[in-house]
Structure 1
Amino acid sequence: MEIEIVETNGDSIIKILNPLSNESACINASVGGTLMSLKLKEANELHELITIPYHQKYHLHENPFYPSGLLMPWVNRVRNGNYSFLGKNYQLPINETNLGNAIHGFMARRKFEIFEEICNEQEAKIILKSSYSNDFEGFPFPFESYLSYSLKTNGQFEFTISCKNMGETNMPFATGWHPYFQLGNQLNDLTLYFNSIEKYLSDSQMIPLKAVPFQAADGMKLLEEKPDNVYLLEQKKLTKVTLAHTQSNLALNLSFDSSKFPYFVAFCPENKECIALEPMTGNTDCFNTFEGLLQLKPNENFSGTVQISLEKIG
């Protein structure tokens, strides 16, 4: 197993590689630890699973679709950028101007530094670190964030998000991940499977308005559904979200602890043959609704892992 680090156009690019299988992951540490590429092998064929939608139009630092973005310290939207916590009101900058919300936190474009490298016969792992010290308007709660990326010889990739409250008071917190996946070339060949309880319907600001019963265990055809919703998952120690390509009998699996990530977004951007699959600790606008909101005590740490693998089905 190998780890390569290069500087490209001012960005620190990290590649973790299995030279025997050519499986690899590519990370931009300078832009929120963005996972730029993930190549895994199944049946002796290498598959690029990650895509960066609209990369030709937007630089990664300003891509409004937040490809592979780290959602922290809130997920999705805070209505009007306003929230109250422990008796105080806070105003976040509005960065979704068309809907009037604060969206996706502020860590997706922050610079991360290399904290640790681990490389042996079983895996290559890189751990990144970024310290936040109260320099973002409306969030006066310092914390440290760690991101871990591991590629194993068995073809499994793991991404771990960790955050520690470095302040002297409780801190409102939610986190998640916003990767876009591709499998094949067309949405009409893709079906998504996951164990859900509810689907949230949104209002004009894309804030959940109400929940309706919804179960996707039998499959949701992406071309028919074209999802852009939050779902409440059945809480299990190991939950699996499966994106299946019917033509090739190939499936991409996201596995995670849904007691840590009980909310999940599926989103297909318009005119793009990809889907964002987003495990989240809290619901959209949880800073106001408290649905899934975590309150980290001083020195308390949150950590959650998402595993990605490929398998043949059928």
Structure 2
Amino acid sequence: MGALPASGVQHTLRHGDDVATIASIGASLRSFTRAERDLVVPFDADEVRPFYRGATLAPWPNRVVDGGYSFDGVDRQLSLTEPARGHALHGLAAWLDFHAVDKGSDHVTLQAVVEPQAGYPWRVIVRTTFALAPGGLTQTVRAENASDTPAPFGAGPHPYLVAGEGLVDDWTLELPAERVLSVTPDRLVPTTLDPVTAAFDFRSPRRVGSTRIDHAFTGLTRDGGGITTVRVTDAAGSGVGMSWDAACPWVQVHTADLPGGAGRPGHRAGLAVEPMTCAPDAFNDDRYDFDTGLLVLGPGETAEASWRIFAIAPEENA
């Protein structure tokens, strides 16, 4: 038996022309293709996952500012996993090794346990299913509070969508969001929730160009079935979409701007679209004058959210 790849056990799913590979470390979407066309920025199996690419985020997505929060009257301090900005970033599950509890040719269910620890003294069982079907790849995350006291909770994914050749600059984005969370330029600390300005208004599809985005959006427009859909397409009209329901009232969008700019591998190579059950810094809900969407799971209670990634063919945009 060969050595275990750096990203863990590999689970490859197939349905028609769609192929997705899930790595067990962080229950990470390592690759997803339609007819060999990348729909997300991939990484190699024997590679330490770059940043949070494709990871499952729990028990919080995005940032807890300064890693500190108060819950049920007790002050807590999380480890600072984003040292450059001094925050606790993207939860505790992203580097856990998820094990398979069910698997077929087109689906896999993985599970891991967030154990009680400094800063987050609750046990949360995180179970996630990836399933391929004619409509694309759906991921469902279900979390259960296995502790005897209420626990704050949030979740989300972290895929980098790929419309086609070139960089984010060349692609057209449709983002049906009416409000954007303003943040400080240096540490991305949330400040106010505002109507989208011209720079961040993609309700009508338009080219991203040189716009730099690393913001959370809400006020999402939904169709008759309650679904929000973000679309990213190239000049020929092909691309990728992502849909989710009201379980995720927020979405973080990031143009993958990296220090070093164009000379850095991965710089603006994909558009991160991260549906979230709660806003950035939701653990500090009492600091904000808007609904952060923070979930509080009582003992034995569960929460569930899902999202779907799918290919867009040129004729769909004709």
Say yes or no: TM over 0.5: yes
What is the 5 A alignment of 1:203-282? Answer: 203=184, 204-214=186-196, 215-234=201-220, 236=222, 237-245=226-234, 247-257=235-245, 259-270=246-257, 271=262, 272=267, 273-282=269-278
Aligned equivalents of 2:181, 2:160: Cα separation in 1? 21
* Residues 39, 93 of structure 1: alpha-carbon distance in 2 compared, 3 angstrom cutoff: same
Q: TM-score, normalised by structure 1?
A: 0.86
Aligned partner (choices 76, 80, 88) of residue 94 of structure 1:
80
Where does structure 1 lack aligned partners over 5 or more consecutive residues? 1-5
The answer as to 2:65 corresponding to 1:84 is no
* Residues 118, 9 of structure 1: alpha-carbon distance in 2 compared, 3 angstrom cutoff: closer
Q: Is the 8 A contact 2:162 2:240 kept in 1?
A: no
Aligned residue pair count: 289
2:120 corresponds to: 139
The answer as to 2:300 corresponding to 1:299 is yes
What is the 5 A alignment of 1:83-122? Answer: 83-119=69-105
AA in 2 matched with 1:50: V
Aligned partner (choices 10, 14, 30) of residue 13 of structure 1:
10
1:40 corresponds to: 34
Q: TM-score, normalised by structure 2?
A: 0.85
AA in 1 matched with 2:276: M
The answer as to 2:63 corresponding to 1:74 is no
Deviates more, 1:31-40 or 1:268-277: 268-277
Secondary structure class of the residue paired with 2:138:
strand
1:69-96 per-residue CA deviation (whole Å, 9 max, x = no partner) reads 2111111111111100011111101111
1:166 Cα deviation from its structure 2 partner:
0.8
1:105 Cα deviation from its structure 2 partner:
0.7
Deviates more, 1:176-185 or 1:229-238: 229-238
AA in 2 matched with 1:193: E
1:205 Cα deviation from its structure 2 partner:
2.0
Where does structure 2 lack aligned partners over 5 or more consecutive residues? 287-291
AA in 2 matched with 1:38: F
Q: Is the 8 A contact 2:162 2:239 kept in 1?
A: no
1:22-79 per-residue CA deviation (whole Å, 9 max, x = no partner) reads 42100111x11111110124xxxx31112147x79x722xx3x310121111111111
Q: Is the 8 A contact 1:195 1:234 kept in 2?
A: yes
Q: Which has the higher strand share?
A: 1
Aligned equivalents of 2:243, 2:135: Cα separation in 1? 14
1:26 corresponds to: 21
Aligned equivalents of 1:235, 1:189: Cα separation in 2? 25
Q: Is the 8 A contact 1:23 1:155 kept in 2?
A: no
Aligned equivalents of 2:53, 2:169: Cα separation in 1? 22
